Amino acid sequence: MKRTWWAAAVFLLTGGGLLAGCGVQPAGVTDAGQAPTGLAPGVTLYFVDAHERLQPQFRPTGSLGTIPEAMALLLDGPGSDAPLHTEIASAGTTKAGAATAFDVIRLTVPLTIEDVTPLGIDQIVCTALGLSRQSGESKATKAQVRFTRPTPESDQERTCPLISPAG
């Protein structure tokens, strides 16, 4: 036991001498500003621009929130002063549900397939997966959009065309 302590002490003294000999000097404390809080100041929703492309729109909410909360904001639309529009028809209600199992988010929306275009489905999927990623969920997570009336579209596991599965 004494031999181990003695060897450790020799190693530390030798290592310290080597570092000092290389010009490495001790550094003081550096102020780098505010520490990260882990809290997001809002959520990113996806709407459509004049060229029919998805565009992110940051919505300040004070926190990241939940997927159903983000869906409610998405279903409310981009706002009248925004240069973006939605491909999702107004349903009169913004209540949506979300449940995650086996890397699939099952979104229940108050819409029929007739209320939404393929680009509108991408709006829903990108908003949900974006929030999921920001929350630290798996990059392999996909989304299913469940409509009020059964349709084969509800069975598809989707990814967002703007979010790389690897990134």
Report pLDDT for 94: 84
- Inter-residue contact 133 to 139 (CB < 8 Å): yes
The predicted model gives 128-133 an average pLDDT of 94
Sheet arrangement for strand 97-101: 97-101, 104-108, 142-146
Q: How far from chain centre, in Å, is Cα 11?
A: 46
DSSP 99: E
Residue 11 has pLDDT above 80, yes or no: no
Report pLDDT for 52: 96
Report pLDDT for 82: 83
The more confident residue out of 117 and 164 is 117
Composition of the chain by helix, strand, coil, percent to 5: 30, 20, 50
Span 13-37, pLDDT tens digits:
555 555 555 666 666 666 665 555 5
Report pLDDT for 144: 97
pTM greater than 0.85? no
Residue 163 pLDDT level (bands cut at 50, 70, 90): confident
SS3 state at 144: strand
Residue 109 backbone class (left: φ over 0; alpha: ψ -120 to 50; beta: rest): beta
* Cα dihedral 117/123/129/134 (nearest 10): 180
